[in-house]
Structure 1
């Protein structure tokens, strides 16, 4: 039995009629199956909303990266639902995570920022809630 853990812990909270808070805690190297689980959950949460706004709290401190297919899944998610993302707050402390955040921001309609502390990230998300 392996001690290696990977994937997302996911929480989705409807904060108003048209707004959702998606909280993700990523661990290890993300795989295709992680997105096969996440994407239907997100799509179900925003189903029926005329103009959904998704705020994301993405804790990346234990993230080691993406497998190639999972990186493709992440890109497809951004292309399909990027206009719904309002604010994406990423909590991380590695240089490559800031680079990944900048690249990811090209595929969303809103803002993306990297924070070292989760409390700062939450405060930023709640500023315009």
Structure 2
């Protein structure tokens, strides 16, 4: 399930993932928020708090995630992924090599640092 995180700066989209993440979650929660952010400011600052295993994402959710990433490829500004899965943290750090913006992985205990990172002005 995906839930929108409130109480973040207006230039940041924050999503909390728990349990199973489906195509419906992507289409009703994440994609509209990303589209709205891009329309409003032309770039994406994205916080994902991942408190579920990446294997809990359905094929439809993964496909929507890939399409969103490619559609907005030049618009990624800052990405913070918060998870206690070491592989996810590593991939988030390495992802900066593939997108024009900055990407960083954080542990759940570092949520405040992740919010500061994704909220920072360049």
Say yes or no: does 1:33 pair with 2:19: no
Counterpart contact for 1:79–1:107, Cα < 8 Å: no
RMSD over equivalenced CA pairs, Å: 2.4
Give the superposition deviation at 1:102. 5.3
How far, CA to CA, are the matches of 2:77 and 2:112 in structure 1?
19
The gaps in structure 2 that reach 5 residues or longer are none
The CA deviation string for residues 15-46 of structure 1, in whole angstroms up to 9 with x for no partner, is: 4xxxx210111111211111111212321343
Q: Shift of residue 123 of structure 1?
A: 1.8
| Aligned twin of 2:46 | 56
1:4 aligns to what? none
**What TM-score results when the alignment is normalised by the length of structure 1?**
0.74
Q: CA, structure 1 residues 104+94, in 2 after alignment: closer, same or farther (shift >3 Å)?
A: same
Does residue 113 in structure 1 map to residue 107 in structure 2? no
Q: 1:36 to 1:14 in 2, by over 3 A?
A: same
Q: Tell which structure's C-alpha radius of gyration is larger.
A: 1
1:56 shift after superposition: 1.0
Equivalent position of 1:42 in the other structure: 34
Q: Pick closer, same or farther for the CA change 1:36–1:11 going to 2, 3 Å.
A: same
Where does 1:17-28 land on structure 2 (aligned, <5 Å)? Answer: 20-28=11-19
Equivalent pair of 1:88/1:111 in contact (CA under 8 Å)? yes
